Structure 1
Amino acid sequence: MNLRKLILLVVIAALIASFFIFDLGQYLNLTNLKTQQEAFSEQVSANPWLIGGAYFFIYVLVTALSLPGAALMTLLGGALFGLFGGTLLVSFASTLGATLAMLISRFMLRDWVQAKFSKRLMGINQGVEREGASYLFALRLVPVFPFVLINLAMGLTKLPVRTFWWVSQLGMLPGTLVYVNAGRELGQLNSLGGILSPSLIGAFLLLGLLPMLSRKTLEWFKTRKVYSGWKKPKRFDRNLVVIGAGSGGLVSAYIAAAVKANVTLIEKHKMGGDCLNTGCVPSKALIRSAKFAHELKKAENLGFKSVAGEVDFAAVMQRIQHVVSTIEPHDSIDRYTKLGVEVIEGDARITSPWTVEVNGKTLSTRSIIVATGARPLIPKIEGIELITPLTSDNIWALREQPKRLLVLGGGPIGCELAQAFQRLGSAVTQVEMVERLLIREDVDASDLVMTSLRADGVDLRLQHKAIRFEVIEGNQQLICLNLADNSEVKISFDQVLLALGRVANVKGFGAEELALEVRGNGTLSTNEYLATRFPNIFAVGDVTGPYQFTHTSAHQAWYAAVNGLFGSFKQFKVDYRVIPWATFTDPEVARVGLNEQEAKSHDIAYEVTCFGIDDLDRAIADGAAYGYVKVMTEPGKDRILGATIVGQHAGDLITEYVAAMKHGYGMNKILGTIHIYPTLAEANKYAAGEWKRAHAPIGALRWLSKFHQWRLGGTKHIESGLKTDEKTS
């Protein structure tokens, strides 16, 4: 700490200490102010400028030092100087004091805070830089957080002082008026009977309603600004129009129909979206066939001889289509029409905040939900135009099995399909630029998956960067850079699968014309209510993120539908606290909440409990004795911060921890729950047992040991027990 900061710290500490040592707070309570009011008023009449100046100085000092009493000082200002004079003094004194408090915070702490928490504050700094004025204005206008905290917090950001000053001056004015008016009314109170006067009751009623009135006023101004230039229809044909019939769109429409709203669902391609047609359903059907092919190779381990089978790849792919067609009725036009949803096949385009055009017809609606999903990322790799790449969209059209399949990408899709095709008989090479697969999971989880893929025969090329594609005399090959030694590597292939992530579909439906904001990662920007910049246009699913899972799309759909239909009365913030997911490789990797690498990167304290599934009776009987259950808990407590399960059926087993985190119970309750024997689910109970063993009350157990030895009869047993305890220690 430099000398200037040290001197300022000493001065501030001395002033604050004086305030409490000399009990100056006794003069800033309502009883004392009311008792001294007459004397104060006489002094104001005799020396208005002197007393006004002294009041102004004291108010600035109290606010700058973040001392208690600013609210009572404001009431006193109304009582002594009236509505106009009190408002004038308080408005400028509070702004000056707040600005000084902000500057003190900035001078003393900002550099240290920004250096220590630079990564965490990056988003906040960008937000303040982009819309700091409007954010501060909202905090000032709606006094949910104490102004003292706002002053200090803003000092830690890069908000310009000039902006802080004028926004605070304007934002605190309504609250100042209400408080000064209340003080003026209190100042006119001469007897207890005056408490029931309409004017005083009205002043305090206004004081109580200030947060709500301020919030509604702010919302009105924001709404008026965002809808400026758009003509709102006098009446509407529909309550809700949903664009896209994937998971998010289907659930949104279903909820709207269930509450008898007039809802229209528009889909330009296939009902069910990616999950049914090109994602979850076909990939899991493929994995099932691949698992059976793998089981055949393990027949001898299960007591069979001469068991063999030949993969009919075309039949496998045909079975996948049969599975899709069997599930299709669940998401069909016929079903949703019967539920009360108007379903239109066509290209939707939003033409105004309240109108959607489809098939040449304009539909008017109170709210719109965008559920346009995402598509596979096609990277800009030199020579990619020379080949016809496969993606998770078009791979299901294959009927001839690729002998040599190259998979680019080490995420969940790449790992699942690489393992499945390898087990079905393709020679798979998987290329990943970083040092391991499934980079979002803990190292031990990705290690188990990589071991399994290698055991199946997948050729893993980690730390390999794709440079260009070449076709030489009909031979397709990828040129890679081996990042470990900077050497050039050539990989030949018959088909290449691109599994490098997905890109949100934010174009082609009117988002550009309405200037809907797109985030840096390409997703449609929404707030905590899933609304875009227009309060009546919402987005759910892959198009907005932050999670690109079918179940999170359905989860978001409830919030968007309810907010779209009833948001004028009550809005609900989307809850992302407990989001599970799974990668369906063998072994499966399932997770909810934090894992170790996330906890470490965010400096979150945790304890870890691990149970190896290789020690589980049912897993041994099934020939699936591999993997683990890892649970993250709050230090010293059984509250679950997150769980990772690696092993067979991990995606099913994780549900117990999802429920525990959602409903607020911990490891003790899981341990106290009966689990059927023998099942894989017992792994969760044994993990809870490991946690309990690690947190056993050692001291109490020692006394219990002595108690039981005493009951065996006499001091000899106790002395023997003490010696045993000593040896154990």
Structure 2
Amino acid sequence: MTAIRCDICIIGAGSGGLSVAAGAAQLGARVVLIEAAEMGGDCLNSGCVPAKALLAAAAAAEAQRRGFAGVAPQAPQVDFAAVKDHVAATIAAIAPHDGQDRFEAMGCTVIRAWARFIGPDMVQAGPQKVQARRFVIATGSRPALPPIEGLEGVPYLTNETIFALRSAPAHLLVLGGGPIGLEMAQAHRRLGCAVTVIEAGRALGREDVELVAPLLRALRDEGVTVLEGQAVARVEGAEGALRAVLADGRRVNGSHLLIAAGRRAELGDLGLETAGVAFDTRGVLVDAHLRSVSNRRVYAVGDAAGQGQFTHLAGYHAGLVVRQAVLGLPARARGHHIPRVTYTEPELAQVGLTEVEARTLHGSAIQVIRSDLAQNDRARAAGQTGLLKLIVLRGRPIGVSILGPSAGELIAPWALAMAARLRLSAPAGMILPYPTLSEVSKRAAGAYFAAKLFGNPWIRRLVRGVQRWLP
């Protein structure tokens, strides 16, 4: 069979691969897109989309449970199967945007088969061979399974399987206190399940500890048991009657086990050695241009590039690859401006450096500004609390941490400020509608200048002089 020849062959139809395919095809490149599993990848089918749909249903249940001023709380009536119907319907509504028909209509050749390199410039996908000028590895990641004794002998769930449950777990054991683990813990607790999270280190260990502490308090107040600094020595039992044995000998019983202990790049049986593509446990080894350090025909994006595991990062990478491999323009990947969000309630959002990271790099040169949502009129009206921490270096933001309602939305102007390398005068000069939560950002930026102006004796003398001079 004659090989298909194309400009760009993309392996993986998740968020990164689809973005490359769409951009390249619409610009006129000949594109082959290869995907053996479901179009849309992890984000659509077992990640971002179903998780947020589940969290939305859980939030509705919690709103009934809490009530509000003058509104009596009541116990929610949760139909767990109907909640999962909502999750499935959400995926189905978005799926056509990521579907094969749409990409074929753009001019892509879509092959639904497993791909394997059979040379530095050719892959085999099913019976078809594809020869390309450039390849993009966009195969995403899979749940990492920790080396725990007995794990291979008990039933366990991952993000790839938990959304298929039609009956609520009586007691969900969650191994891992990262974003996925805590989001699923809170969602299932609010939907009526007992939940225990077991984390070997510190929950949300990458995030600012000052903001993580109240988040964990909120989870515990809702009834989620969070055990930190507790390694699991082994797991045992059978479906419906599982047990995690901790390193100190304690036993934690549960009905279901969710593994949320991180993810690993899915490079599978791609035949990267045959193509001369260097890789390690994090992903394909790439340079600052996302190009393989050992095969210049090959790029990697998203989780496969080993630089972070976010859908929006994959989309950013895709744009850089299109710029280079399609338009022939220079582009370099930067990482300092990539935001991240843990979608618990309250949400926790971060862009740039945390305070600890900033002090490690810049010492006493940084300034830390705190803006409390308790001083925000919109938050007061809604009975909401939270905190924004702004890290400033020589008049520019280098990190922002936000804990509170809609933190994932509130981080947006700071992501823009850091991507565009704006000075703090830009957010300080925003005119925002009143009352909005977004005023917390303007307040933080304004506080930087207030400290310089209002406490400066020279400014006060200048003002007195100006007042005497003005008619």
TM-score range, shorter chain: over 0.9
Are 2:240 and 2:256, in contact at CA under 8 Å, matched by a contact in 1? Answer: no
Determine which of 608, 622, 625 is the counterpart of 2:382: 622
Assess if the C-alpha contact under 8 Å between 2:46 and 2:163 holds in 1. yes
Residue pair 1:236, 1:366 contacting (<8 A) in 2 also = no
2:169 aligns with one of 399, 402, 406: 402
**SS of 2:358's equivalent?**
helix
Q: Which amino acid aligns with 1:541?
A: G
In the alignment, which residue of structure 2 is the partner of 1:686? 443
Q: In the alignment, is the contact (CA less than 8 A) between 1:244 and 1:267 conserved in 2?
A: yes
Instruction: Return closer, same or farther for 1:472/1:337 CA change in 2, 3 Å cut-off.
Output: closer
Residue 414 of structure 2 corresponds to which residue in structure 1? 657
Shift of 1:386: 2.7
C-alpha separation in 1, matches of 2:188 and 2:295: 45
Superposition pairs for residues 457-472 of structure 1, below 5 Å?
Answer: 457-471=223-237
Cα 1:287–1:354, aligned 2, differ >3 Å: closer, same or farther?
same
Report deviation, 1:354.
1.7
**Cα gap change, 1:497 to 1:700, in 2 (>3 Å):** same
Counterpart AA for 1:632: I
**1:561–1:703: structure 2 CA closer, same or farther, 3 Å change rule?**
same
Whether the 8 Å CA contact 1:381–1:467 is kept in 2: the answer is: yes
- The alignment status of 1:531 with 2:298, answered yes or no, reads no
Deviations 1:225-283 (A, max 9, x none): xxxxxxxxxx9721111000001100110111121011011110001000000000000
Structure 1 CA distance for aligned equivalents of residues 189 and 120 of structure 2: 49
Whole-angstrom distance in 1 between the partners of 2:470 and 2:38: 76
Give the share of equivalent positions with the same residue, in percent: 37
Q: Which one-letter code corresponds to 1:700 in the other structure?
A: W
| Distance change in 2, residues 1:473/1:442 (3 Å) | closer
Q: Encode CA deviations 1:700-721: one digit per residue, 9 max, x unaligned.
A: 33215534885899xxxxxxxx
When residues 598 and 336 of structure 1 are mapped into structure 2, their CA distance, relative to the original with a 3 A threshold, is same
Q: Distance in 2 between matches of 1:260 and 1:539?
A: 21
| Compared CA separation, residues 530 and 706, structure 1 to 2 (3 A) | closer
Query: Which of the two has greater strand per residue?
Result: 2
Instruction: Write the distance in 2 (CA, Å) between the matches of 1:398 and 1:618.
Output: 38
Alignment check: 8 A CA contact 2:65 2:76 kept: no
Shift of 1:522: 3.2
The one-letter amino acid of 2:39's match is: M
1:539-688 equivalence runs, <5 A:
539-567=300-328, 570-604=329-363, 605-624=365-384, 626-634=385-393, 637-688=394-445
Q: Is the 8 A contact 1:367 1:565 kept in 2?
A: no
Corresponding letter in the other structure for 1:378: L
Structure 1: how far apart are the matches of 2:237 and 2:464? 80
**Is the CA contact (8 Å cut-off) linking 1:282 and 1:321 kept in structure 2?**
yes
Kindly indicate whether residue 115 of structure 2 is the aligned counterpart of residue 348 of structure 1. Answer: yes
CA–CA separation in structure 2 for the residues paired with 1:574 and 1:317: 38
Matches for 1:209-608 after TM superposition, within 5 Å: 237-299=5-67, 301-305=68-72, 307-434=74-201, 436-471=202-237, 475-481=241-247, 487-519=248-280, 521-532=281-292, 533-567=294-328, 570-604=329-363, 605-608=365-368
- Measure how far apart 1:514 and its partner are: 2.4
> Larger Rg: 1 or 2?
1
Question: 2:66–2:74: 8 Å Cα contact kept in structure 1?
Answer: no
Measured in 1, the distance between the counterparts of 2:37 and 2:460 equals 69
1:627 is displaced (CA, Å) by 1.2
Q: TM-score, normalised by structure 1?
A: 0.62
Distance 2:323 2:425 in 1: 36
Provide Cα deviations, 1:306-334, integer angstroms capped at 9, x if missing partner. Answer: 64421111110111000000010110111
Distance in 2 between residues matched to 1:601 and 1:499, nearest whole Å: 29
For residues 29-48 of structure 1, the aligned pairs below 5 Å read none
Q: CA deviation at 1:342?
A: 1.5
The answer to whether the 8 Å contact 1:476/1:494 transfers is yes
- Partner of 2:198, secondary structure, is strand
Assess if the C-alpha contact under 8 Å between 1:671 and 1:685 holds in 2: yes
CA gap 1:306/1:491 in 2 versus in 1, 3 angstroms:
closer
Once residues 472 and 511 of structure 1 are traced to their aligned partners in structure 2, the CA distance between those partners, rounded to angstroms, is 38
Counterparts in 2 of 1:696 and 1:535: CA distance versus 1, 3 Å? same
The structure in which a higher percent of residues are helix is: 1
Structure 1 distance, partners of 2:369, 2:362, is 18
Corresponding residue to 1:696 among 445, 453, 457: 453
User: Partner amino acid for 2:101?
Assistant: D
Asked if the contact 1:268–1:346 (Cα under 8 Å) also holds between the matched residues in 2, the reply is yes
Inter-partner Cα distance in structure 1 for 2:4 and 2:84: 46
SS in 1 for 2:326: helix
Change in 2 beyond 3 A, CA 1:473/1:417: closer
Alpha carbons of structure 1 residues 565 and 352: separation in structure 2 relative to 1, 3 Å: farther
Q: Is the 8 A contact 2:276 2:295 kept in 1?
A: no
Residue type at the aligned position of 2:212: S
After superposing the two structures, state which structure 1 stretch, 555-564 or 237-246, moved more.
555-564
CA distance in 1, matches of 2:450, 2:12: 51
Give the root-mean-square deviation of aligned CA atoms.
2.1
State the distance in 1 between where 2:12 and 2:213 align.
Answer: 38
The residue type paired with residue 650 of structure 1 is A
**Secondary structure of the equivalent of 1:401?**
coil
* 2:295 alignment partner AA: F
